[in-house]
Structure 1
Amino acid sequence: MFTKLFHKHSHDSQHDLEKVVTPIELNPHLIVHYGIPSTASHLAYDPIQQLLAVGTQNGRIKIIGGDNIEGLFTSPKELSFKNLEFLQNQGFLVSVSHENEVEVWDLEQRCVASALQWNVNITAFAVIQETSYMYIGDESGLVSVLKYDVKERMLLQLPYSISAHSVSEAAGALFPKHQSVVGILPQPCSRGNRQDKNFLEFIYLFSCIAYTTGLLLFAYDSGIFVLWDVSKDKILLIRGCNDGSGENSANARSSEPKDQTSGDEQEDKEITSLCWASLDGSILAVGYVDGDIILWHLPEGATANRNKTGKPVDNMVKLQLSSADSRFPVIYLQWSAGGIYNNNGGQLFVYGGDEIGSAEVLTILSLQWSPQREALENVRRENITLQGSFTDMILLHSYSVLENEEAPSLFILSSPGQLQFYDSSCLSRLNSHQDKTCAIPTHYRSAVPTTEPYLTAGRLISVHGNTKCSVAISEMASAAKSQGTHISKEKSSKWPLNGGVPCQLPALEERNIERLYIAGYQDGSVRIWDATYPMVLPLCLLDPEVRGVSVAGATASVSALDFSSETLRIAIGSDSGTVRLCNLSGNCTETRVHVVTGTKHEVLLGFD
């Protein structure tokens, strides 16, 4: 219907199409995306530059900063990502694809700076903070070191590795034949003499080992984990679930710890997740395929051998989120000190471990250790009910720019493409809530609102090459800006994304508008944006009602839209059967509206 209003029928349309359309135009591809992609699967966060990266299942990466700063990177291969990590404060992002290709993205140039194809399936990945070094673990049990050389723009594999065979020999024990590395954790703070940063270049020149504090922990899927001294190239400690002597247990379903009793030895079981559970790397949290969580205390001066009594030199505490026989594997673990800086407590964020068939939640365990760290004094549990299926989570530690960081803050990504931010005050309210399951997040604030108000129709209009339309709309935007006309914004709230380089937009009066996005809403309103650049700019808000004039069905939901770039006329169809034809003049505060209902036609002059 709307097409007939705006365009004349032409018998030569097919012939004109063949002349106009070029091969490039017949190869459509995505260049800009607004909002969170529905196929989003991974998150990465740079707390210094305050950037968030969102990886998708089809090889795209969305970079989000503050003030609607967005960028879209597209990998040459449309593959999902296994890992996504920033080289913090360096302007680079590292991704690992499901075809085991490691790519370094240059954020400033918006391109792949370097790539390296790994010949074995990559099963673990970690970037060493504040460096250009990274560890890779693969299904053959090998831990390798990579470095990104910024000057040469090259991703290099360094001649240093740790094989499962060498670990087995050093431990004097036989390992299973197939050992996949499932987790790699550089120790956050060595309790020995910490090397200064000159150690980085020293190690690179003489043994090409990445800079750490000297200690590295990595785990195999068979249930074994190893604490390795990188500088001395030897084992400090090796443990598995069958080291069960002196095991303690605590019930995380209750606010009070269960009586702690010695546990029997058990067979090794598959490790599914792990993280440090202390500031100095003295406590390790490990999640298992059967839903168990074990907290291992790694004592200072630990060695690969047991003491004279034959017992392990460490202590372990088991946590169970459910007493059911069938439980989900513990998929995700992350730790926050939560304002406690004495290593005696903090919060453990857990996804998984509950009974199979239960509602999806993210569990927060508040733990308090005894001064000797031989037992848990208190375990308190709270749940965040997820809005959709859990996909990924990023924990914002106390070093972030947010104020009042006594409690942690976090992003949660759920399917399909929902991003929520829970700030410290939100989680604090959760801690005090009686049912322990209620928390109200801040949703990702898209420049184009879709829920408040509810979007019912939208059109992306190209006006490229139409100078008359572009100039007229630019004049309208300038007039709206000078008169202080703005589209209403959502309630302001703390959003921890301030980084990124905004698009270098020309002055409004000098800019050619090439694309418009027009959206209609359930309340009858229509909004118009300049969509020429990744950062969309609001141009005009058309209220459903004309001031001083009563129009039947004006507030009915918008069901159809069309726009003529030749006449600057917008056709707005509603559920009530009314069609409004709005003429956009150079002054957005004045709108000439044609209202068509059946055979009736009225011309109204409205002022916004």
Structure 2
Amino acid sequence: MQLAVGRDNCHYGFACCPAPVSVRRSARRVMDKAGRKIRAAFEGLQNLWNNNQQIDLQSVETLTPEDFAVSEITCHGFPYQPTCLAYDPVQKLIAIGTQCGAIRILGQPGVNVSIRHPNKSSVIQLQFVFNEGAVISLCSDCCIHMWNIRLKRPEIVHSLRFTREKLTLMYLPFQSSWLYLGTEKGNVHVVSIETFTLSGYVIHWNKAIDMSQKHHPGTVVHLSECPSDDSKLLIGYECGTLVLWDLKDKSVDSRYQCMQRLRSACWHCEGKQFMCALSNGSLMTWTMKKTAEPTDLVIPLSKLDCKSFNSAGAGNSKQAETETAGSQQRVQAASSKQLFYRPIDKVDWCTQRGSEDLVLFSGGTPFLNSERPPCITIMRGKSVSVLEMEHPVITFITLWDTPYITEEQDCSAVAVLLQNDLVAIDLKSEGCLCFENPYSMNIHDSPVTCCTYLSDCPIDLIRALYAIGSKQKKRGYTSKNWPLTGGVWSSSPSSDPELVITGHSDGSVKFWDFSSVSLQILYRLRTAKFFEIDESCVRTDLNLFSITHILLCAASRYLAVSGMAGHIVLFKFNRQESSAEVPILQIQAFGSPLYHHVSPEKSPANPSNSAKTPPCCPSNASANFSSLDSDSCSSLAKPVSYYPVKMKSGPTKRACGYQTDVICLNAWPSLSLPEAISAMALNSAYGLFAYGTDQGLVVVDILQKCCITVLETAELYGTGDATSLRSPKSGGSASLNEKIASFDISDSRQSSEKQDSTTAFTRSNTASSENAQHSSNKAYVKMSSKSMSLAGGKPPKPSPRERTKCSSDRESLDSPDMGFEEGVCYLEFIENSSRIEQLNGVNLWVGTTYGTVIPVNIKLPEQEQRLDSPVQVTIPGITLTKQCGFILSIGFLDSQCNMLLPPVKFFKELDQENSLAKNRVLRRANTLVTSVDVEGLQSTKSDTLDFSSSSSSSGMEKKEYNVAEQYIVICAERSSRVLSLSNLSTTLFNFKYDFPFVQASVVTFNAKPIIAGCFSNGRIGAYSIPSLRPLIDVPFFPPNLHCLETVKFGHQGTGVYMCSPTELLKFAISAHFVQDSKDALGSLYLPCVMPQPPKTNFFKELFNISSRNTVDRKELFGESCGKPLKNVAQRIPMQTLSAEVSQKKVNTTNEVAKARLALHERGEKLSEVEDRTAALLDSTKSYADHMHEIMLKQKNKKWYQL
């Protein structure tokens, strides 16, 4: 018998006699059937294993879309691009309008409510309805809206749109229900604020001006009622014409003509005089009786020394006084025609009890050659005080105590709205000191460049920062309390302490307490004071001290900060002052360092003898990092690194708080191209710090204060054709004869064979720890593979950067653009347990811009030798490709799909390390993060194990298959994947997004891990883990890349982002948190008793009879004046109820209907019961009668007759 091979299948036949065709066909069918059974059996076993895993993973998911809802919690910071200011003297509230349609209402410290118009039109003016809990806003789209601020979240209750004329101004008299509206055409309309309907009463411009006036008066710029006669309305036009209009007679009472354009006007409290602010920097005073010429004309800043405007910079409070009389000022105004002055934008004439009248105005400074800071001027009698401001003045308003304009105003403070700040000035203090602003208005003192959010910060860290930061309080403020006392604030719905850290362009880092609804500054750290810019720096357009990344380990209080110049500062918290020198690590440029130009004739004969500069070498603080040695200028082709910043020389006194521990200076790849830091990771338990750039990875030992390894991105792959990976001293190249184990995750799910050789990079063993820390000429390379050898006389191979350009097997399959070089974009320390031997132990997971995830093994020495022995870094050669875009976040899960966190070492343990007398126990157990026992993570001691036992060489030995299962969650720009660390070739779950992620994080929500992120189109999304099931996907963020890049997600469904360059907004994606936050906002409106009106003087009342006449506005502006013209204004349909309120209304209606139905049914049942009760009563009565008859019948019978 021999084997006969057919065309498609194999069968058995006889050589002497060929089998019939039918036999061969039957044999084929049998073999096909058997093959199918075998394949089905294998596929069934594989599917059974995968399904069991998926069932186990999906069984732990308890989150549903009903648990998620997106809402804004509170907004902090200064309102971006402010436009107007309003004040309620009864409720003690202030409102600020902005160009983007937002309104910020402020009260006592902690009362901070932000609302926004639906169409985001610019707010022109705001007006409080005094003590009524309402605010009226005038917008640039010719709409007026009334907001109800009695609600915790104010809403619009009325809206009116003007279609024919553009509104420029509004005025609401005290205790009046009629609103005056000035238009661009010069007309004045009247609107009822009760019904928000237009009145038929109109003041036309052609009836207000004089008949002899030939030109249009211009826009209405001022409206106000006379304090002594509320039937007289003062109308100011842009051209300088002022008209006192009689509302009853509908005629002009008097006219006043200014020679310059009118900017503002105000009444004296007696109602006999008013003052005008003009465009030429002058103030003009008029009386009601004398209309031909003003009683006073003055240029208030003409007598001041012009040098006073130039001698002080912005931000200083400077006063200048003059003792000239009013006549002398008028003469000066006439004789100073050669000088020109800026317009006076606003003027206010107020009084103070027991003092002279005050005149406050903004502007009016002379035009000089040099730039002057903006100012607010206070005129008190003959003295003039000029208060210089840091930013341009938008407007100001005096904070008076009574709403009655006829009463003498005891003005004690003035609120000044600047372009980037809100200032309150104490007018009764000597020198006009400022109040200390209790709101977080100084977030943008220097532009915010990055931020970090910790939703579960330890409370002891916040207390320590507050204790240190309280010593940094500024001086020069008045001792009085903040003048705004309105509203009531409540506590935060979150019980966890929250911390926000912001980095700024000037190199400063600010710590903010976000635990309550208010944002409070805790501590400020300045990093620019440690450095100075090198004179040879050519990039003067860059702010080299600008903060790019912030990383905080809350448990150990380590802080890492990176700057624009490629420098990184590692801080360590210390309660005591110190003056020790700071160790500095210089890292050479990746791949292509700067070279001096060397001619071929002067090139050395033996290039191998030329010294190589180590890429990382410890240096003293006094070293000059940018200057070149004289030997480096020789003819040798010697690599030179360029450092644009250098450390200030000499020991510096470091104040208590965050003190510099290690400084890393990264060389620029060219004179004009910065070395950008793209990712950072720190672990206090391991004592390691790693950061990535656009070109590679650097690992630093923060305990030994030395650099462990410097690797380019291409060197992380460990492919067979790569030269020896660069080390701090290796100048040549080494070859690999055997391929390093590599897992290629492809659609065919095939994996390459594991090789025994691995490449280890470590510093060589040293004799003592002192030599290990200070020697810069040591050998840093240790090859553990038997086949590795140095290429002695062979020519150098192409650099890893050149290999990256020509290599195609490592490129991401979904990356749309591969023109840029691959860099590191995410780093994470973790301790893993897996069936794959190379992944057991401590790993540093590296995510690249090509969508590749690469683990790097970390091998720590024994605990007793931690400060003496080097740390080994090994590349196992495992790569996870096929991601879509940049790697944004990586998370790890245990077998129960609970989130794993790396071990940490706490601050108290770090304090004990300074004595070096006790051996510490490092935390190595992966910790389960739950919302119930977060603090138990810090206090549990049972999980503390000896780290050296797992980090030794025995940890890399072959293990059994009973290790605890772990999973990895990889979140990239366009997709997310969940894989098992024991089977990296199989993707358990995969989900691709329609729009790319801008920011994404793996966080916990109700003790379950989720992926939360924001898309490029402004939508916010959350996905369950491990099934990657969508939980929420709604539009929330503005489609602005600058805002989306600042989004930070925290645990338990909260997050923050910079909604504008000056504002920080806190939001929540938790439905429970959103519901609880409504009660935590407090209230803006408090029921207050209206102040008593001022008592009238008998003699004034006797001789000023007209003041007693009051006008009935309802009769004037009501139906008696006729109907308004059509299409002048139309009321916007009622759309003020939000979806939530509408839903509540629908639910209430349904509940009422159900209650009525139940009541009706109950009535019918009661009727039935009543009928049955009546029938039972009748039956009982008949039964009683029947028994009575039987009793009477049997009553006289004897016993024997029965």
Measured in 2, the distance between the counterparts of 1:219 and 1:115 equals 26
Q: In the alignment, what sits opposite 1:317?
A: 296
Is the contact made by 2:339 and 2:367 (CA closer than 8 Å) also made in structure 1? no
Measured in 1, the distance between the counterparts of 2:352 and 2:523 equals 47
Is the contact made by 2:376 and 2:387 (CA closer than 8 Å) also made in structure 1? yes
Q: In the alignment, what sits opposite 1:68?
A: 110
Give the superposed CA RMSD.
Answer: 4.4
Cα pair distance change 1:172/1:537, threshold 3 Å: closer
Aligned AA (2:286): W
Q: In the alignment, what sits opposite 1:347?
A: 358
Q: In the alignment, what sits opposite 1:499?
A: 486
Measured in 1, the distance between the counterparts of 2:131 and 2:137 equals 16
Q: Structure 1 residue 290 and structure 2 residue 280: aligned? A: yes
- CA deviation map 1:394-438 (0-9, x unaligned): 1123549xxxx96641111212x2111111233xx23xxxxxxxx
Measured in 1, the distance between the counterparts of 2:906 and 2:561 equals 17
2:169 paired residue among 124, 134, 150 = 124
Aligned AA (2:261): E
Is the contact made by 1:460 and 1:515 (CA closer than 8 Å) also made in structure 2? yes
2:145 paired residue among 89, 103, 118 = 103
Task: Map 1:547-586 onto structure 2 (within 5 A).
Answer: 560-562=549-551, 572-574=559-561, 577-578=569-570
Is the contact made by 2:555 and 2:906 (CA closer than 8 Å) also made in structure 1? no
Cα pair distance change 1:155/1:563, threshold 3 Å: farther
Cα pair distance change 1:392/1:29, threshold 3 Å: farther
Is the contact made by 1:449 and 1:455 (CA closer than 8 Å) also made in structure 2? no
SS at match of 1:32: strand
598-607 vs 114-123, which moves further? 598-607
Q: Structure 1 residue 535 and structure 2 residue 637: aligned? A: no
State the shift of 1:349 in Å.
1.2
Is the contact made by 2:220 and 2:238 (CA closer than 8 Å) also made in structure 1? yes
- Number of aligned residue pairs: give it: 450
Cα pair distance change 1:75/1:349, threshold 3 Å: same
Measured in 1, the distance between the counterparts of 2:241 and 2:285 equals 14
Measured in 2, the distance between the counterparts of 1:31 and 1:479 equals 24
Measured in 1, the distance between the counterparts of 2:131 and 2:276 equals 29
Structure whose CA Rg is larger:
2
SS at match of 2:487: coil
Cα pair distance change 1:176/1:528, threshold 3 Å: closer
- CA deviation map 1:487-537 (0-9, x unaligned): 84968742111112324655xxxx455965245899999856345x64347
The two structures have a TM-score, normalised by structure 1, of 0.63
Is the contact made by 1:140 and 1:180 (CA closer than 8 Å) also made in structure 2? yes
Q: Structure 1 residue 57 and structure 2 residue 99: aligned? A: yes
State the shift of 1:319 in Å.
0.8
SS at match of 2:182: strand
448-457 vs 213-222, which moves further? 448-457
| Larger relative contact order (CA 8 Å, sep ≥ 6) | 2
Q: Structure 1 residue 411 and structure 2 residue 415: aligned? A: yes
Measured in 2, the distance between the counterparts of 1:172 and 1:530 equals 63
SS at match of 1:78: coil
- CA deviation map 1:49-106 (0-9, x unaligned): 1111111121111111112210111111223222112111111111111222111122
Structure 1: 5+ residue stretches without partners: 1-19, 191-212, 242-267, 303-311, 368-378, 431-438, 464-468, 545-551, 583-591
1:114 paired residue among 158, 182, 187 = 158
1:239 paired residue among 256, 264, 267 = 256
Q: In the alignment, what sits opposite 2:48?
A: none
Is the contact made by 1:520 and 1:527 (CA closer than 8 Å) also made in structure 2? no
Is the contact made by 1:274 and 1:287 (CA closer than 8 Å) also made in structure 2? yes
Measured in 1, the distance between the counterparts of 2:508 and 2:212 equals 73
SS at match of 1:517: strand
Aligned AA (1:355): P
Is the contact made by 2:221 and 2:238 (CA closer than 8 Å) also made in structure 1? yes
Is the contact made by 1:527 and 1:542 (CA closer than 8 Å) also made in structure 2? yes
State the shift of 1:283 in Å.
0.9
Q: In the alignment, what sits opposite 2:197?
A: 156
Aligned AA (2:145): E
Measured in 1, the distance between the counterparts of 2:171 and 2:212 equals 27
Measured in 2, the distance between the counterparts of 1:78 and 1:389 equals 24
Aligned AA (2:298): L
Measured in 2, the distance between the counterparts of 1:182 and 1:525 equals 44
Cα pair distance change 1:337/1:214, threshold 3 Å: same
1:224 paired residue among 222, 229, 241 = 241
Cα pair distance change 1:160/1:514, threshold 3 Å: farther
Measured in 2, the distance between the counterparts of 1:557 and 1:290 equals 42
Q: In the alignment, what sits opposite 2:232?
A: 215
Task: Map 1:375-386 onto structure 2 (within 5 A).
Answer: 379-386=382-389
Q: In the alignment, what sits opposite 1:264?
A: none
1:445 paired residue among 429, 435, 438 = 438
Cα pair distance change 1:393/1:172, threshold 3 Å: same
Task: Map 1:255-274 onto structure 2 (within 5 A).
Answer: 268-274=259-265
Q: In the alignment, what sits opposite 1:394?
A: 397
Aligned AA (2:295): M
Is the contact made by 2:178 and 2:191 (CA closer than 8 Å) also made in structure 1? yes
Structure 2: 5+ residue stretches without partners: 1-62, 303-335, 404-408, 532-544, 563-567, 575-682, 690-699, 704-866, 868-904, 912-1202
Q: Kindly, what percent of the aligned residue pairs are identical? A: 19
Q: In the alignment, what sits opposite 2:224?
A: 185
Cα pair distance change 1:40/1:569, threshold 3 Å: farther
Aligned AA (1:396): L
